[in-house]
Amino acid sequence: MTSAERKLWYSYLRQDNNRWLRQKPISNFIVDFYCPKLKLVIEVDGSTHLEKKDIISDQNRTKELKKLGLKILRFWNDDILYGLDEVTKIIEKEKIKSPNPLY
């Protein structure tokens, strides 16, 4: 895991009432974090995702995952490293909107 992924995992996801999986294979992809109950994917992106080919790849990936009925949240490493409170608020809001909001 990257430092941002570790911070999100150990500071938030691991203690969440929902079961989160790390590096979960879904279709032809491996997502950073996945909660089956919420059908929620969290991707943590770094500078390698800034090149045009990678942006297009991420867009296609998101499109394919959405076809499976999944919601995808993407955060930059710096969002997590320097603004974890805001990131967790966004995740909490998304959890409420999920298909199984009772958690």
Q: Is residue 58 within a helix (H) or strand (E), and if so which, with residue range?
A: helix 52-67
pTM over the 0.75 mark: yes
CATH code: domain of residue 65: 3.40.960.10
- What is the sign of the dihedral through the CA atoms of 27, 91, 60 and 68? positive
pLDDT for res 102 = 47
Phi, psi of 23 (to 5 degrees): 50, 55
Q: What is the mean pLDDT of each run of 10 residues along the chain (103 residues)?
A: 96 96 95 96 78 78 93 95 97 82 47
Structural domain of 64 = 3-97
Could you tell me if residue 18 is inside a domain?
Answer: yes
Placement of tokens 């950073």 in the chain: 32
Q: Could you tell me the two tokens for 63?
A: 């499109």
Total tally of structural domains belonging to the chain: 1
Could you tell me if residue 102 is inside a domain?
Answer: no
Phi, psi of 31 (to 5 degrees): -90, 155
